Structures are given as structure tokens and as C-alpha cells.
């Protein structure tokens, strides 16, 4: 039997989920996507990228992905295929992603210029989008941690925030609320920064907004399709679902939809979760998530974001699948 007879050809519309997971358990988000794909009769292909490679032996006008351990082989038909990558930053994964993109698959967020929390803050500032005042705090060498130069840095920070407290402190790579904390007064600013400088890593300090909840807005295609109100967790400053926040549906008004649209158009996003905070009827962007978790909207509510997403790709995506 010829080798190609073993290949599963993706003749149906297909959603490929690219990820990089250390644990074997499939993340809930992917389970929801898989179920939604079943419902919409779309192939769901889950690729945990450390287990796969691109078979370049038969690599002319097609993309063949092969699993190292199971020998499972998949032939991708780019015109049928949408690719969503999530929590992935490994070399082999990026190679697979690149070749799928070059082959003209429909790549979700292909043109995105969304970066980390600080880069996005600067972009928001440039475009007059309201967002809490934010200052990047650079990493320091060990010798610098107790240097008197730091007193100057502390003075600059106090000046930037007009001596106002509390401040929010966030690690740059943090997500799901991890890495977000509050500095309540000037008493702990210097000692907290020294602790972080000693441990290493970049952080940012941010103006605190007096809010009881934030709103996670889901952006899909060219529309804010869903709002979820997330109440701050009791005895916590965060309102992440992963931290136990209570959630409920929130009807986005036109103004809110317009803000989300502006942000996602600037960042060139097709699929995102935009966190909004409202203070005195003013809307602030707290952050933009581009690999937005869908778990929370499905756990305990029936809002069906995975269903919406899969239906969207079934209908051909924003540009009828391709530009």
C-alpha cells in the first residue's frame, strides 16, 4: 500500500487548533470547540505542536502534518482550513503555523499588532483610547537593587502617578489574573519593587480604577458579539473568571460596541476578548486578550461562544475565508 493511502485528507471544512501543552489533559477551551465543531459538522483537528512536524518529503502544494508518536498523518487543504493558535510559543509550533499561513489557510488574528499590556497601552494612548495611566518598570541587575539610584526612580514613579495610591502592579507576561496585585500605599512601593527587582522580570505600575466589576467583550469578525460582566472576587482586586469571579451576561450598548470596534480595528484583530472598565460613565480599556479563553462563558452560562466562533468560520470568516 502506498504511503499516501494512510493520509486522512481534510476534505470537509476544518478547524485546526494549534497549541503547546505540557500536560496531556486537553484544555477545556478545546473541548468546547470540538463539541461545537461536531454540532456544525466541521472537522476539528487538535495539534499539540510538540508532538507534530511538517512532512517535507511530500511537500509540494500541500501541507502534511505528522505525529511523531502515533504516526497519524493529516493532509491539509488550505482553502477549507481555519487555524486558531492558542498559548503557543515553541519553535516547532511556530514552524507549523508559518507554513499553514504561507499556504493561505485562514489564520485567526493573522495581521494582529496586539502586543503585551504595555505596548498596547502605548498604542491606546497614541489613538486617544482611554486606558489607566501605566508606567513600565524595568528589570534591574542585582547590584542595582539597593542602589541609591532607585530613590530617583521611586520619586519619578510617585510624580507620574501624582502621589496617588493604590496602584496596580502587573507582571508583563501574566494572565488569568496571576501577576496582578495592588500596592496600597507608598509604604510598600519601594520594598515591593526591590523584591521584584531581586527576583527579576519586567512589571508595570498602573493607576487603580475604583470599579466593582469589569466587562469582558468578545470580538468576532467585525463586531463585539458578547458582553460578560465579571464581579470582582470577594477580598481580591481581580475579576478574572479563573480566580472565581461571578459572571453574568451584559448587554453592550452602542458606545461600548464602538469602543471595542475601534480598539480591535487598530490592533487588527479578528477574535479577541477586550476588558472594559467604567468609571463615572467613562470607558477604560483594561486589557486586550488575543487568545481569549472561552471556558468561562460556557461554564455555568449558556452563551455558547464556541458555537458562535465555529459558526463564524463555517460561514467563511470575515473575508469569506480569505482575502
Ligand X SMILES: Nc1ncnc2c1ncn2[C@@H]1O[C@H](COP(=O)(O)OP(=O)(O)O)[C@@H](O)[C@H]1O
- Residue listed under C-alpha cell 507576561: 173
Instruction: Indicate which single residue of 10, 81, 239, 292 sits in contact with ligand X (rule: CB under 6 A).
Output: 239
Task: Give the chain's count of helices (H) and strands (E).
Answer: 8, 17
Q: Find, among 18, 14, 15, the residue nearest to 27 by Cα.
A: 18
User: What is the C-alpha to C-alpha distance for residues 39 and 36, in angstroms, rounded to an integer?
Assistant: 5
Examine residue 294 and tell whether it contacts ligand X (CB under 6 A). no
Q: Find, among 167, 292, 204, the residue nearest to 241 by Cα.
A: 292
287 bridge partner residues: 275
Least distance to ligand X, CB of residue 78, Å: 33
> Residue 239 binds which one of ligand X, Mg ion, none, with CB within 5 to 8 A depending on kind?
ligand X
Give me the residues that bind Mg ion (CB under 5 A), please: 275, 287
> Residue 136 binds which one of Mg ion, ligand X, none, with CB within 5 to 8 A depending on kind?
none
Measured between its terminal Cα atoms, the distance across the chain in Å is 39
Nearest residue to ligand X by CB is 239
Least distance to Mg ion, CB of residue 153, Å: 27
Instruction: Indicate which single residue of 15, 193, 286, 294 sits in contact with ligand X (rule: CB under 6 A).
Output: 286
Examine residue 131 and tell whether it contacts ligand X (CB under 6 A). no
Q: Which is nearer to Mg ion, 97 or 216 (CB)?
A: 216
Instruction: Indicate which single residue of 193, 238, 269, 312 sits in contact with ligand X (rule: CB under 6 A).
Output: 238
> Residue 34 binds which one of Mg ion, ligand X, none, with CB within 5 to 8 A depending on kind?
none
Least distance to ligand X, CB of residue 211, Å: 5
Examine residue 293 and tell whether it contacts ligand X (CB under 6 A). no
Examine residue 87 and tell whether it contacts ligand X (CB under 6 A). no
Examine residue 170 and tell whether it contacts ligand X (CB under 6 A). yes
Residues 249-278 that bind ligand X (CB under 6 A): 275
Inter-residue contact 161 to 107 (CB < 8 Å):
no
> Residue 238 binds which one of ligand X, Mg ion, none, with CB within 5 to 8 A depending on kind?
ligand X
User: What is the C-alpha to C-alpha distance for residues 184 and 202, in angstroms, rounded to an integer?
Assistant: 20
Instruction: Indicate which single residue of 29, 206, 218, 290 sits in contact with ligand X (rule: CB under 6 A).
Output: 206
Examine residue 214 and tell whether it contacts ligand X (CB under 6 A). yes
Least distance to ligand X, CB of residue 241, Å: 9
User: What is the C-alpha to C-alpha distance for residues 133 and 131, in angstroms, rounded to an integer?
Assistant: 6
Q: Which is nearer to ligand X, 48 or 240 (CB)?
A: 240
Strand order in the sheet with 247-249: 247-249, 223-231, 213-220, 271-279, 282-289
Instruction: Indicate which single residue of 34, 287, 293, 307 sits in contact with ligand X (rule: CB under 6 A).
Output: 287
Q: Which is nearer to Mg ion, 108 or 276 (CB)?
A: 276
How many other β-carbons are positioned within 10 Å of the β-carbon of residue 290? Answer: 21
Inter-residue contact 229 to 247 (CB < 8 Å):
yes
Q: Which three cell numbers stand for residue 81?
A: 482550513
User: What is the C-alpha to C-alpha distance for residues 8 and 5, in angstroms, rounded to an integer?
Assistant: 8
Burial 105-116 (b: 16+ CB within 10 A, else e): bbbbbeebebee
Residues that bind ligand X (CB under 6 A): 132, 168, 170, 174-177, 180, 206-209, 211, 214, 232, 237-240, 275, 286-287
Amino acid at each position: 500500500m502506498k504511503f499516501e493511502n494512510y493520509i486522512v485528507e481534510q476534505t470537509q471544512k476544518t478547524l485546526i487548533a494549534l497549541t503547546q501543552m505540557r500536560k496531556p489533559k486537553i484544555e477545556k477551551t478545546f473541548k468546547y470547540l470540538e463539541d461545537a465543531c461536531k454540532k456544525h459538522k466541521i472537522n476539528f483537528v487538535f495539534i499539540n505542536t510538540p508532538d507534530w512536524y511538517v512532512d517535507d518529503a511530500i511537500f509540494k502544494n500541500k501541507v502534511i502534518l505528522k505525529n511523531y508518536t502515533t504516526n497519524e498523518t493529516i493532509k491539509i487543504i488550505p482553502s477549507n482550513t481555519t487555524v486558531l493558535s492558542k498559548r503557543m510559543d515553541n519553535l516547532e509550533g511556530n514552524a507549523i503555523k508559518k507554513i499553514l499561513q504561507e499556504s493561505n489557510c485562514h489564520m485567526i488574528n493573522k495581521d494582529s499588532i496586539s502586543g503585551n499590556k504595555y505596548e498596547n497601552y502605548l498604542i491606546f494612548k497614541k489613538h486617544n483610547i482611554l486606558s489607566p495611566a501605566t508606567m513600565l518598570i524595568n528589570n534591574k541587575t542585582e547590584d542595582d537593587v539597593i542602589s541609591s539610584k532607585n530613590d530617583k526612580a521611586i520619586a519619578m514613579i510617585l510624580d507620574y502617578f501624582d502621589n496617588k495610591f493604590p496602584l496596580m502592579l502587573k507582571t508583563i507576561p501574566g494572565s488569568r489574573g496571576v501577576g496582578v496585585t495592588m500596592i496600597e500605599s507608598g509604604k510598600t512601593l519601594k520594598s515591593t519593587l526591590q523584591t521584584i527587582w531581586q527576583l527579576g522580570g519586567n512589571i508595570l505600575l498602573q493607576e487603580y480604577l475604583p470599579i466593582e466589576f469589569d466587562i469582558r467583550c468578545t470580538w468576532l469578525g467585525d463586531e463585539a458579539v458578547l458582553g460578560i460582566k465579571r464581579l470582582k472576587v470577594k477580598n481580591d482586586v481581580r475579576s478574572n473568571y479563573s480566580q472565581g469571579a461571578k459572571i453574568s451576561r451584559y448587554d453592550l450598548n452602542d458606545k461600548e460596541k464602538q469602543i471595542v470596534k475601534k480598539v480591535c480595528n487598530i490592533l487588527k484583530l479578528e477574535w479577541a476578548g477586550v476588558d472594559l472598565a467604567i468609571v463615572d460613565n467613562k470607558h477604560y480599556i483594561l486589557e486586550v486578550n488575543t487568545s481569549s479563553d472561552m471556558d468561562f462563558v460556557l461554564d455555568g452560562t449558556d452563551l455558547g461562544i464556541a458555537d458562535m466562533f465555529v459558526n463564524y468560520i463555517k460561514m467563511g470568516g470575515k473575508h469569506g475565508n480569505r482575502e
